[in-house]
Amino acid sequence: MNLATEIIVWITYFAGLYFAVFWFLTFIEKGITKDHEKKLKRFPTVTIAIPTYNRENTVEATIKSALALNYPKDKLDIIVVDHGSSDNSLKVIKKFSGKVRIFSIGRQPGERKGRPMNVALKHAKGEFFVCLDADSIATKDSLIKMLPYFEDKSVGCVLPSMKVYKPKNFWHRVQGSEYLVNMFYKRLMSYMNCIHVAPGPFSVFRTETLKKIGGYDEKNLTEDLEITYRLQKYHYKIIQLMNTFVYTIAPKSLKELYLQRNRWFKGAFLNTIKYRGMIFNKKYGDFGFIQLPTVIISGGIAVSLLLITLYFGIIKNLKFLLDARLINFDFLTLIKNLSLSFNVFDLNFSLICISIVASSISLTIIIKAFQHGNEKILKQGIIPVGFFFIYYYLIMGLAWIGVVFDLLTGRKQWW
Amino acid sequence: MNRELKGKYFLAAFITAIIFLLGLFLGMTIEGKRVLYIEKTSKEQQLTFEGLQLQYNWITQLSQEKNCPAIFKTFEDYMNKLAKSQERLETYSEEAKLDKEDFINLKREYLQAELNSWLLAERVKNSCNASTMSTILYFYSNDRLCPNCGEQALVLSYLKEIFKERLLIFSIDSSLEQEPMIPLLRSVYSITQYPTLIVNDKKFEGLVSSNELLGEICSQYKEKEAPEICKKNLEKIKSN
């Protein structure tokens, strides 16, 4: 390994370990307390905005979950905005005429989810505004558990805990683990008031706040992340709950997962550049100092770890396979006489020391995340959880490499 | 809203640095232990070599040629251990941060051991009339000067597994300029590139495949006593 590679490797390990230690310290300092269910003193009107675009298979369940919310029906204002679907979404939605307000808008080039969200915001009658993606299912008690947190006037947004809807395959279960860990991290971020994204599935806002900060960015790739950056810019508090759940349909294959993450990371990168003035700006506290740099640095770490793994784990073995042509691929002779002469001094102790600390922290976080998310590792499956623990960074690294490639080649985002 | 920055940033950096320093300290401690370990192994191997020389003297002075197979066996064990230690030494030396000088000295010790073994092997070959024992002098260098040395090492390990005690390979690290024998050998064998192999006095320059080397090594044997692989190789050549 030459000096430059070695420096990159050690910087990656240092940065990765730094973030792990930082969040672990936050965990030790604050702990994760149980959310005490607060009683809702009054029932304000709430607008639930469901934007749809070619979601004929899922939108019905989403609307039904909104209608089934444990909340006075006369206080619920459900708006479904179809953003020019070419499938049967509109037909499905129309079955709920009378129970929900329906808007159908055309889709102009460059428009994204921010556009239907703004239509809903414009027509919203509620004091509170909830975004509910058309592939997500709200749980009955979610709203009633979330609204009391708005008693604090500085709170601009309250988030539920997201889970994968009816996990069916390996990739669903891997993402299930990821969601739990992410929610756990976001809870820690919530303590430091530096949450960077209020996701589409059932984030609750004050309608007035959303209007005051200018509504959604209609052309933004990740409008949910962008509006959260703006909430942070205006110093609103964002709270992550652990006792309130919303279920969302997760990508079912590696390709879908890659495409979704590529879009998320690209959006995160572009928005971080857009709000670069907040980075390391004391005015924005921990959000500027740890959260915004993390968005970019975590991408760097994922790419670097992927390349390190590729180099040491794959390229070297591939080279061995290629070299094997020189011995007519007669591996048997080499293997049958192989004598393992293990020596304790052969181990790389510097790396082992760092790996043990980093792995212990990660494992503790995973175990705690499952505990607080009311899930069991065994039920989720040891293999998907193990994959998430050991290999998930490879997919993240791949998606980030895709982001760099797309940005450099000016490739458009269609999905 | 009051958004104070916390000392946790520095605490996290401090703890991370402590973990890194601990790792570095462990690495350095192990480096020292590695030097001691190789030195100890080197001494043991030196002792084995002296035993080999004694065996050789005994055979030649007392005309005990019937005991030649015993010396071949000892030689084989000795060379295997030497090769393993040398391989380990290469890795340790590559990873060394502080004791580079110590590792260079150790490499010189091993190089001298290889050369001494080679000279002894040539004498044993003559005294024991072991015309079927092949020797390879393998001149290698660092990655920059010899990008194909990794491949060549694989080929040689493979051949060693096939011929076992009938093939002795002596690896010469030509980047050890401090060792006076290196320029001498380079000039004697006109070495201009790496890898270069001297197989039973025949020179091969550049990367050589197992098939080419098999051809050379197998040519030492009379058809009857040739190992199975040589017979197969011969059949292949004939059918082509």
Contact B92 A17 (CB under 8 A): no
CB contact under 8 A, B211 and A235: no
The three-state secondary structure class of A100 is: strand
Mean pLDDT of the region A111-131: 96
**Residue A254's pLDDT band (cuts 50, 70, 90):** very high
Mean pLDDT, rounded, of chain B: 85
Do B220 and B161 lie in a common domain?
Answer: yes
**B30 vs A21: CB contact, 8 Å cut-off?**
no
Q: Is B14 a member of any domain? A: no
The per-residue pLDDT for A117 is: 96
Distance CA A247, CA B178 (A): 69
Instruction: Give the start-end residues of each E strand in A265-392.
Output: none
Whole-angstrom Cα distance, residue A122 to residue A114? Answer: 12
In a domain, B238, yes or no: yes
Q: At what angle do helices B8-61 and A349-372 cross, to 10 degrees?
A: 140
Euclidean distance between CA atoms B207 and B154, whole angstroms:
11
Are residues B159 and B223 both part of a single domain? yes
Q: Does A329 touch chain B (CB under 8 A)?
A: no
Closest CA to A131 of A141, A140, A119: A119
B13-22, B43-52, B65-74, B116-125 — which is least confidently predicted?
Answer: B65-74
Angstrom distance (rounded) from CA B56 to CA A5: 49
pLDDT over 90 at A413, yes or no: no
> How many structural domains compose chain B?
2
Residue A89 lies in a domain: yes
Of the candidates B5, B154, B211, the beta carbon closest to that of A323 is on B154
- Of A26, A320, A326, nearest to B8 by CB-CB distance is A26
Residue A96 clears pLDDT 50, i.e. is over it: yes
Subunit contact A287:B3, Cβ cutoff 8 A: yes
Amino acid making up residue A362: S
As a whole number of angstroms, the distance between CA A49 and CA A131 comes to 5
How distant is the Cα of A365 from the closest Cα of chain B, in angstroms? 17
Range B92-98 average pLDDT: 82
Is the domain of B104 the same as that of B173?
A: no
Using 50, 70 and 90 to split pLDDT, how confident is the model at A415? very low
- B150 lies in a domain? yes
Which positions in chain B touch A231 (Cβ < 8 Å)?
A: none
Give CA–CA dist B60/B136, Å, rounded. 24
Contacts of A327 in chain B (CB under 8 A): 154-155, 158, 209-210
User: Is the pLDDT higher at A320 or at A392?
Assistant: A392
Q: Which of A315-319, A349-353, B187-191 has the highest mean pLDDT?
A: B187-191
Residues contacting A296, CB < 8 A, separation 6+: A269, A272
Residues of chain B that touch chain A, judged by Cβ-Cβ distance less than 8 Å: 1, 3-6, 8-9, 11-13, 15-16, 19-20, 22-24, 26-27, 29-30, 33-34, 37, 84, 88, 91-92, 95, 150-151, 154-155, 157-158, 161-162, 207, 209-211
User: Which are the contacts of B75, defined by CB distance < 8 A and separation ≥ 6?
Assistant: B52, B117, B121, B124, B165, B168
Residue A78 pairs with which residues in a beta bridge?
A48
Chains A and B form CB pairs within 8 A to the count of 102
**Whether residues B127 and B139 fall in one domain:** no
Domain around A112: 46-264
Check whether B218 has a pLDDT greater than 80.
Answer: yes
Question: How much is the pLDDT for B172?
Answer: 92
What is the distance of C-alpha A253 from the center of its chain? 17
ipTM: 0.83
Q: Cβ A285–B4 below 8 Å, yes or no? A: yes
Interface-testing mutation among A21, A192, A290, A359, with chain B (most B C-beta atoms within 10 A): A21
**Does one domain contain both B237 and B204?**
yes
Instruction: Give the Cα-Cα-Cα angle A259, A263, A269 (nearest 5 degrees).
Output: 140
CATH of residue A122:
3.90.550.10
Single residue among B81, B105, B131 that ends a domain in this structure:
B131
Closest to B106 (Cα-Cα) out of B185, B40, B27: B40
- Cβ–Cβ below 8 Å for B154 and A14: no
Which residues does residue A52 pair with via DSSP β-bridges, in sequence order?
Answer: A82
pLDDT digit string, tens, across residues B150-180 = 899 999 989 988 888 888 899 999 988 888 9
> Is residue B95 in a domain?
yes
* Higher-confidence position of A39 and B205: B205
Longest Cα separation, chain A: 80
Last residue of a domain, one of B131, B152, B172: B131
Distance, in Å, from the CA atom of B160 to the CA atom of B146, rounded to the nearest integer, reads: 21
Q: What are the CA-CA distances from residue B93 to residues A159, A330, B32, B96, B98 (Å)?
A: 54, 30, 11, 5, 10
Q: Is residue A159 in a domain?
A: yes
Does residue B1 lie within any of the structural domains? no
Report the DSSP pairing between strands B196-199 and B167-173: unpaired
Q: Which of B161, B207, B211 to mutate to test the interface with A (most CBs of A within 10 A)?
A: B161
Contact yes or no for A150/A158 (Cβ under 8 A): yes
A22 in B contact zone (CB under 8 Å): yes
> Do both B161 and B185 map to the same domain?
yes
| Range from A14-18, A195-199, A272-276, A347-351 carrying the lowest mean pLDDT | A347-351
Q: Does A123 touch chain B (CB under 8 A)?
A: no
Residue A194 lies in a domain: yes
Of all residues in chain B, the one with the smallest CA distance to A155 is: B1
Instruction: Kindly indicate the confidence band of residue A412, based on its pLDDT and cuts at 50, 70 and 90.
Output: low
Residue of A nearest to B3 (CA): A285
**B28 and B125 both lie in a single domain:** yes
Nearest of B93, B29, B157 to residue A344 by alpha carbon: B29
pLDDT of A118 > 90? The answer is: yes
Last residue of a domain, one of B80, B107, B131: B131
How many other CB atoms are there within 10 angstroms of residue A63's CB atom? 23
Assess contact for A146 and A70: CB atoms under 8 A: no
Decide if pLDDT at A268 tops 70: yes
Domain count, chain A: 1
Give the pLDDT confidence of A174-211 residue by residue, as tens digits: 999 999 999 999 999 999 899 999 999 999 999 999 99
pLDDT at B1: 43
Is position B210 within any domain?
Answer: yes
Please give, rounded to a whole number of angstroms, the shortest distance from the CA of B28 to a CA of chain A: 9
Q: What single letter denotes the amino acid at residue B197? A: L
Q: How many Å apart are CA A161 and CA A144, to the nearest integer? A: 14
Contact yes or no for B150 and A323 at CB 8 A:
yes
> In this predicted structure, which of A153-157, A392-396, B221-225 has the lowest mean pLDDT?
B221-225
Separation CA A13–CA B16 (nearest Å): 10
Nearest CB to A350; choose among B12, B24, B33: B24
Place of tokens 């430091």: A192
pLDDT digits (tens, 9 = 90+) for A59-70: 999 999 999 999
Question: Residue A87 is which amino acid?
Answer: D
Q: What is the pTM of this model?
A: 0.82
CA-wise closest residue to A83 among A274, A223, A209: A223
Beta bridge partners of A129: A47, A205
| A33 inside 8 A of chain B by CB | no
The CB-side HSE value for A8 (13 A sphere, CA atoms) comes to: 15
Query: Which CATH number belongs to the domain containing residue B145 in this structure?
Result: 3.40.30.10
Encode pLDDT of A325-356 as tens digits.
888 888 887 776 666 667 788 888 888 888 99
Q: What is the pLDDT of residue A345?
A: 83
Domain interval for residue B120: 22-131
**Whether residue B209 sits in one domain with residue B155:** yes
What percentage of chain B exceeds 90 in pLDDT?
34
Alpha-carbon distance B87 to A339, whole Å?
14
**B114, B171 Cβ separation under 8 angstroms:** yes
Share of chain A above pLDDT 90, in %: 77
